[in-house]
Amino acid sequence: MINRVLALPLAAGLWLAASCAPVASAAENATLIVAAASSLRLAVSEIASVYRQKTGQQVKLSFGSTGNLVRQIEEGAPFTQFLAADEASAERLVQNGKASGPAQVLVQGRLALAIAKDRTIETDAQLQGIKRALGNGSIRAFAIANPKLAPYGKAAEQALQRAGLWDGLNGHIVMAENVGQAVQFVASGAADAALVAEALLKAPAVSSSVRHVPVDTSLYDPVRQSMVLLNSAGQQARAFHAFLRSEDARSIFAKYGFDVPDL
């Protein structure tokens, strides 16, 4: 009886143990682990796959809110480079000795107002439609990324304050852990509206379920997204870092609606 009961887990265990070695060494070869802000998810995933096709180099991507990633890097996470959603985070890592190179501005991102498909709220760059929707009670949940962790959350907070909506939205704000989650909240219809990174609204599953408009740039400070090499960066990390500023990468960033600075 014992043998029969144990046969399956034992076989599974042996298979796992046997397959452990090759995978472990493959993981060691992949020396590129990029920590990237959620706002960059679509663009950087595409850039990484183009890079893999060109060079055969695998790039591991770990996405999260800028604040969370900074904390992880400071606590010793094994990332080779960091692509932030702001300038201050990358500079902070340079100052406290976690980064090996200077912070460079990669792209400038845009904040967009996204409205769930079946809602009747107007989309306008000045957010006046939100004010009217608040008045007639058609906004129950308004999603933004957590301003304490995510630069796009901070930009959203700023825009709502400058548009005079922050106090009125009190009790309706839903905070996402990162800007990707905020997009998911509005795309699933769980939130009526959201202020998010425009670059994330180009995903097919999202663009079909929200309407959106870029927010007037006078309502928020520019979101300059910086990148920096970390202390564990080797030759391969430097090569990918350079590729992020190549013409190929720049055209992909532009496709997702980022403004790419002149070199």
Whole-number Å distance between alpha carbons of 58 and 32:
7
State yes or no: residue 66 binds other proteins (CB under 8 A): no
Helices of type H across 110-263: 128-135, 151-162, 179-187, 204-207, 235-243, 247-255
For other proteins, which residue of 61, 125, 190, 260 counts as binding (CB under 8 A)? Answer: 61
- Taking CB under 8 A as the criterion, the residue among 7, 13, 120, 164 binding other proteins is 13
Interface residue with other proteins among 46, 50, 57, 77 (CB under 8 A) is: 77
- Provide the total of helices (H) and of strands (E) in the chain, helices listed first: 10, 10
**Which of the residues 19 through 48 are near other proteins (CB under 8 A)?**
19-20, 23, 27, 30, 33, 38, 41-42, 45
Residue 109 one-letter amino acid: G
Return the closest-CA partner of residue 40 out of 230, 212, 224, 238. Answer: 224
Residue 146 or 178: which CB sits closer to other proteins? 178
Closer residue to other proteins in complex, CB, 72/126: 72
Decide whether 98 or 241 has the Cβ nearer to other proteins: 98
Q: For residues 230 and 73, is the Cβ–Cβ distance under 8 A?
A: yes
- Find the shortest distance in angstroms from Cβ 213 to other proteins: 20
Instruction: Fill in the per-residue mask, 157 to 196: x = in contact with other proteins (CB under 8 A), - = not in contact.
Output: ---------------------x-xx-xx--x---------
Q: Which is nearer to other proteins, 50 or 125 (CB)?
A: 50
Report the alpha-carbon distance of residue 79 to residue 72 in Å, rounded: 9
H-helix or E-strand containing 53?
helix 41-55
Residue partners of 176: CB distance under 8 A and separation at least 6: 143, 144, 145, 146, 150, 153, 182, 184, 185
Would you count residue 10 as binding other proteins (CB under 8 A)? Answer: no
Q: What is the smallest separation between the CB atom of 137 and other proteins, expressed in angstroms?
A: 29
Contacts of 39 (CB under 8 A, 6+ apart): 85, 109, 152, 179, 180, 197, 199, 200, 225
Q: Do 174 and 167 contact (CB within 8 A), yes or no?
A: no
Give the total of residues touching other proteins (CB under 8 A). 40
Q: Within positions 199 to 258, which residues make up the interface with other proteins, using CB under 8 A?
A: 203-206
Task: Please give the residue ranges that form the binding site for other proteins (CB under 8 A).
Answer: 1-2, 5-6, 9, 12-13, 16-17, 19-20, 23, 27, 30, 33, 38, 41-42, 45, 60-64, 72, 75-79, 178, 180-181, 183-184, 187, 203-206
